[in-house]
Structure 1
Amino acid sequence: MTAIEFSDASLKFPGSSRWAVDQVNCEIERGKLVVILGPSGCGKTTLLKMVNRLYEPSAGTILVNGQDIRRVKATELRQQIGYVIQQSGLFPHMTVAQNIGVVPRLLGWEKPRTQARVDELLNLVALPPEDFRDRYPAQLSGGQQQRVGVARALAGDPQVILMDEPFGAIDAITRTALQDEILRLQQQLQKTILFVSHDVEEALRLADRILILRAGQVVQYDTPFNILTRPANPFVYELMGADDMVRQLGLLRVETAMTDAPPDYRHTEAEPTIARHDSLREALSLILRTGARQLTVLENDIAVGILTLEHIRDSASVGVGA
């Protein structure tokens, strides 16, 4: 089911001679994390902000959960969509609990329900409520502030979340930890996330699908696996660094290359297993170390796929599209 649909979505800023976003057409499937990727000035953040009408589209249509965004009051629309920006954007004069509770209060939730939701979300993002509830943003590290920002975006339980380079100002170690946190949360909550990034490795690590923009136009919209192995043109090939096969294997998740396990599939205890979110490089190492013909891919201890050496080899085969 489609959560967000762009139909010839376009935007031209007043006084500009060119379109910042030029006839974007794509569908964002519900429950998927889609990364918008491209060089600076290509329209990534502009497209994102069109979804919650921080920028009003000049032409075309954007549907969120089947509803034309122009037929909804902007304030109501934004209350239905989570929004996370770089450097968290927390209100400095509010405590952590007050920041997270902004949308529930706007939605008219009663105080006990809001307090319970705040504690639930702090636990979800690994910030114990008793330690963090009453702190102010200035008393938090950058990584902790971003976790609170994510919790605030989830507070009203929106189905759609927009994330505008949320980890761009964070050091590399904390950035990796936060990426892990997003993957964990997404596996648990299955929200529809539109995530702007300029970082190719971040896109490959997080995305179910990647939307590549150039000069406001969609160049390619596909899975990380397909974009790396079948880039649409030389621009995508160069942007993704598609000739670095070892790097590919370290960034691509097992689930991008596996085949689905048959409904009646049963793996033996002797057969090596790997998690679907582990990297293909880890899978290759396991196959070489054990000499196994294939790996059983698990999710919550249930077999969901099969991965062979041939699957991994295919994932490292690069070709540039016409």
Structure 2
Amino acid sequence: MSAIRFDNVLLRFPSMARAAVDHVSCEVESGNLVVILGPSGCGKTTLLKMVNRLYEPTAGTIYLGDTDIRQLPKTRLRQQIGYVIQQSGLFPHMTVAQNIAVVPRLLGWANPRIQARIDELLDLVALPPGEYRDRYPAQLSGGQQQRVGLARALAGDPQVMLMDEPFGAIDAITRATLQDEILRLQRQLKKTILFVSHDVEEALRLGDRILIMKAGQIVQYDTPFNILTKPTNEFVHDLVGADDMVRQLSLLRVSTAMTRLPDGYALNGHNGHPTIAREDSLRDALSLILRTGAPKLTVLEDGSPVGTLTLEHIRDSASVGARG
């Protein structure tokens, strides 16, 4: 089921010679994390901001589920959508708890429910409530502020999240940690996420699918694996560095190349094969195969087998991109 659908969406600002978003049509499936990627000025943030009606399209329609978003009052629409921006956007005069409580209060939740939700979310983003509830944003590091911003966006339990370069102003080490947190939360919560990024490695690491834009148009909308191994044109090829095989293996998740087990299929234990998590990299998988000499790996999700991976799978994922 599509959670978000863009139907021939156009946005033209009066001062611009070309459209900021130029007849975009695509669907974002429920529970997917889709990264919108492209160079500065390509329209990625503009496209994102149309989903919560910060910008209104000149033409075309955006659907949330089966509903044209223009049929919803803006306030009601935005209460259904979590929004995370680059600088966290926390209210400086409010405590962490008060920041997280903003949307639940607007939704009219009872105070005991709000307080329980605050504690639940702080635990979820690995900020112990007893230590962080009463702090102010100025008393937090940049990474901690972004965790609180994420908790606030999740507070009303929205099914859709919009994230506009949320880690763009954070150092590389903290950024990698927060990316790990997003992957962990997404496995747990299964939200539908539109995530704007200009960072190719971030997009390849996080995205179930990647939407690449140039000059307001979609150039390719596909899985990270297909974008690296089957770039649609020279622009995409150069943008993602499709010739760099070692980099491909480091960035692609095992899940992109594995053979999925049929529904209802049960392995006898792990059939004696070494195991690897579906979110680990293909480089990790290659290292494990070479170290153990195993012909096949069993891929796990939450401790249960979901697929298998062979050296041939890994070789194919690297060699296809090299052939271009």
Quickly say closer, same or farther: Cα 1:321–1:161, change in 2 above 3 A: farther
How far the C-alpha of 1:52 sits from its partner, in A, is: 0.2
- Corresponding position of 2:31: 31
User: Is the 1:232–1:320 Cα contact (8 Å) retained in structure 2?
Assistant: no
What's 1:7 paired with?
A: 7
Shift of residue 243 of structure 1? 0.5
Aligned to 2:281: 279
Contact 1:242/1:318 (CA < 8 Å) preserved in 2?
no
In structure 2, C-alpha distance between the alignment counterparts of 1:82 and 1:264, rounded to whole Å: 38
Name which of structure 1's ranges 49-58 and 309-318 shifts more when overlaid on structure 2: 309-318
**Inter-partner Cα distance in structure 1 for 2:187 and 2:312:** 27
Give the 3-state SS of the residue equivalent to 1:250 in structure 2: helix
Name the SS of the counterpart of 2:161 in structure 1: strand
CA contact (8 A) 1:205 1:253 kept: yes
SS at 1:317 equivalent: helix
Give the letter for the 1:312 counterpart.
I
Equivalent residues of 1:35, 1:211 under 8 A apart: yes
Instruction: Give how far 1:81 is off.
Output: 0.2
The aligned residue for residue 264 of structure 1 is 266
* 8 Å CA contact retained: 1:237, 1:320: no
User: Deviations 1:146-183 (Å, cap 9, x if unpaired)?
Assistant: 00000000000000000000000000000000000000
3-state SS of paired residue (2:319): coil
CA deviation vs aligned residue, 1:176-200 (integer Å, no higher than 9, x gap): 0000000000000000000000000
2:88 and 2:145 in contact (8 A); partners too:
yes
CA distance in 2, matches of 1:209, 1:295: 24
User: What SS does the corresponding residue of 1:278 show, helix, strand or coil?
Assistant: coil
The residue correspondences of 1:1-322 to structure 2 (distance < 5 A) are: 1-262=1-262, 263-268=265-270, 270-319=272-321
| AA in 1 matched with 2:253 | R
Q: CA deviation at 1:15?
A: 2.5
Q: How far off its partner does 1:294 sit?
A: 0.5
Check conservation: 2:37, 2:200, Cα contact below 8 A: yes
Q: Say how many residue pairs are matched.
A: 322
Distance between the aligned counterparts of 1:20 and 1:186, measured in 2?
30
Tell whether the 8 Å contact from 1:233 to 1:321 is kept in structure 2 after alignment.
no
**Residues 34 and 209, structure 1, Cα contact 8 Å, conserved in 2:** yes
- TM-score (ref. length: structure 1): 0.98
Q: Provide closer, same or farther for how the CA distance between residues 321 and 29 of structure 1 changes in structure 2, counting only shifts above 3 A.
A: farther
What 5-or-longer segments of structure 2 have no aligned partner?
none
What one-letter code is carried by the residue in structure 1 that aligns with 2:294? A
> Among the aligned pairs, what percent are the same residue?
76
1:8 counterpart SS class: strand
Which segments of 5 or more consecutive residues in structure 1 lack a partner in the other structure? none
Alignment RMSD (CA, Å): 1.3
1:284–1:312 CA contact under 8 A, matched in 2 = yes
CA shift, 1:321, in A, is 10
Residue 296 of structure 1 aligns to a residue whose secondary structure is: strand
Per the TM alignment, residue 318 of structure 1 is displaced from its structure 2 partner at its CA by 3.6
**TM-score normalised by structure 2 residue count:** 0.97
Conservation of the 8 A alpha-carbon contact between 2:46 and 2:55: yes
Q: After the TM superposition, which of the residue ranges 58-67 and 267-276 deviates more from structure 2?
A: 267-276
SS for the counterpart of 1:31 is: coil
- Tell me, in whole angstroms, the C-alpha distance in 2 between the residues paired with 1:268 and 1:81: 40
Deviation at 1:250, TM superposition (A): 0.5
Q: Which amino acid aligns with 2:226?
A: N
Structure 1 residue 290, shift from structure 2 partner: 0.5
SS in 2 for 1:287: helix
Deviation at residue 18 of structure 1 after TM alignment:
1.0
Q: Distance in 2 between matches of 1:137 and 1:31?
A: 30
Q: Deviations over 1:77-116 (max 9, x none)?
A: 1111000000100000110001001000110111111111
State the 1:300 CA deviation.
Answer: 1.6
Q: Deviations over 1:10-62 (max 9, x none)?
A: 10112222100001111000001000000000001000000000011111010
Q: Distance in 2 between matches of 1:126 and 1:196?
A: 24
268 and 5 in structure 1: CA distance in 2 versus 1, 3 angstrom threshold: closer
One-letter amino acid of the structure 1 residue matched with residue 2 of structure 2: T
CA distance in 2, matches of 1:290, 1:137: 48
CA distance in 2 between partners of 1:260 and 1:284 (Å): 18
